[in-house]
Amino acid sequence: MNNVAVVTIDGPSGVGKGTLAQYLTCKTGFHLLDSGAIYRALAYGAVANQLALDDVASLEKLATELPVEFKATSIIYQDADVTSKVRTEEVAAVASTVAAIPEVRAALLERQKAFAESPGLIADGRDMGTVVFPAAPVKIYLTASAEVRAERRVKQLKTQGIDANIAQITQDIRERDERDANRKAAPLRPAEDAVVIDTSDLNIQDVCQKAESLLWEKGLMK
């Protein structure tokens, strides 16, 4: 949909994209695309179906037919609620491996574009501004050091009663960044016209305020 207002939010894992995307979705009443959840659902399906992670033909087929649906804040895979199952570091690692396959990305492209419906879309991911919605009027790229992101993740896990090893989480984050940024297909990078916000020294409220101001400037909020 060409004339639907799209706001893209890209950046590495654990940088606060999801929180910002939800904030802007509430403020604008726009739809939300959590593209990472699509890749995570694909990873979940690949593991459940015991697909080899280099079996491109089977992964492409699964991506084309992916039986995932989003209902409010839940992720439904073949009628089962997999919301918490897809949020693990293990699923994330598989997601970033299958996400590097160009055939898989191509198979998921139209499905992501279809989220752009009136009155608008907040699209969260890695390549929203560069590949999926290159004409979006507002593009935001969030960044923060791997250490800061790992600390935030550990805090978040603690609130869920999960003890986490900061060194391990930092290493997981680094490995995922490395794979996402160095792949040939749609590597993680800011679009040329993206506004880059380094969140290392900002709290999430500041990030939300900055982003909201951008939407006001561009006339996407009234």
Q: Decide: is 11 part of the binding site for ligand C5P (CB under 6 A).
A: no
Residue nearest to ligand C5P as judged by C-beta position: 36
Burial of 113 from C-beta contacts in 10 A (0-12 / 13-18 / 19+) = middle
Q: Decide: is 40 part of the binding site for ligand C5P (CB under 6 A).
A: yes
Q: Decide: is 136 part of the binding site for ligand C5P (CB under 6 A).
A: no
Q: Decide: is 35 part of the binding site for ligand C5P (CB under 6 A).
A: yes
Q: Residue 127: helix, strand or coil by DSSP?
A: coil
Cα dihedral 52, 53, 56, 60 sign = positive
Q: Decide: is 60 part of the binding site for ligand C5P (CB under 6 A).
A: no
100 neighbors 63 (Cβ within 8 angstroms): no
**Contacting residue, 31, 126, 139, 153, with ligand C5P by CB under 6 A:** 126
Q: Decide: is 149 part of the binding site for ligand C5P (CB under 6 A).
A: no
Report the C-alpha gap between 52 and 194 in whole angstroms. 36
Query: Looking up tokens 């695309």, which residue turns up?
Result: 33
Q: Which is nearer to ligand C5P, 19 or 221 (CB)?
A: 19
Q: Decide: is 13 part of the binding site for ligand C5P (CB under 6 A).
A: yes
Binders of ligand C5P in range 166-185 (CB under 6 A): 176, 180
Element at 138 (helix H, strand E): strand 138-143
Closest CA to 98 of 18, 40, 153, 21: 40
Q: Please report how close the Cβ of residue 118 comes to ligand C5P at its closest, in angstroms.
A: 22
Which residues would be at the binding site for ligand C5P (CB under 6 A)? 13, 35-36, 39-40, 92, 95-96, 99, 125-127, 176, 180
